[in-house]
Homo-oligomer: A and B are copies of this chain.
Amino acid sequence: MENLYEKTISKEQIYSGKVIDLYIEEVELPNKKIGRREVVKHPGAVAVLAVTNEGKILMVEQFRKPLEKTIIEIPAGKLEKGEDPLECAKRELLEETGFACESMESIGSFYTSPGFADELIHLYYTNTLIKQGDQMTDEDEFLNVLELSIDEAKELMKKQQIHDAKTAYSVMYMELTRALKK
């Protein structure tokens, strides 16, 4: 099959919210039949793999309403309108952990749920942390900061306390870096 494109026939906005918008799109499928796609629009996000002088990974423990539980993730947040992802990553790291950094590099980006959402997450790495002060989280954001070794993080993955894609990817990134050094 050559052409996989799905042309939009009609588009209806179901919801416009603080974090996401929801659309239903009627599309023409490659076989010319009509299909229906549910599309969540998201502004995009950043996440930061931040490693301390002691080689520990900065993580935040946060209650996630969709999961009805608290999980441990790398610092992350939504892009503000028009915000540069690198600036957003520095801002979120400072707000959530109180750490600034001298430099930060991109280690990739990925769509989290391409089947129903356009959320693109930009992942950054830093090991040049400078403690600036306390957390300065948003008014509806509550979290605890942790510093974990790679092996502690792997243990928490087994216990499913670390249980999200960006953090699992980041822990494996650290493990691969360690394996390639040996």
For A38, list chain B residues within 8 Å (CB).
Answer: 17-20
A114 within 8 A of B: yes
Number of interface residues of A (CB under 8 A): 71
A62 to B, closest residue via Cβ = B4
Cβ-defined contact, B168 with A108, below 8 A = yes
Q: How far is the CA of A92 from the CA of B144 in the complex (A)?
A: 39
A87 within 8 A of B: no
A30 within 8 A of B: yes
Q: How far is the CA of A62 from the CA of B111 in the complex (A)?
A: 14
A103 within 8 A of B: no
Cβ-defined contact, B19 with A140, below 8 A = no
A131 within 8 A of B: no
Cβ-defined contact, A144 with B1, below 8 A = yes
A2-29 residues with Cβ-Cβ distance < 8 A to B are 4-6, 14-15, 17-20, 22, 24-25, 27, 29
Q: How far is the CB of A53 from chain B (nearest CB, A)?
A: 25
A61 to B, closest residue via Cβ = B4
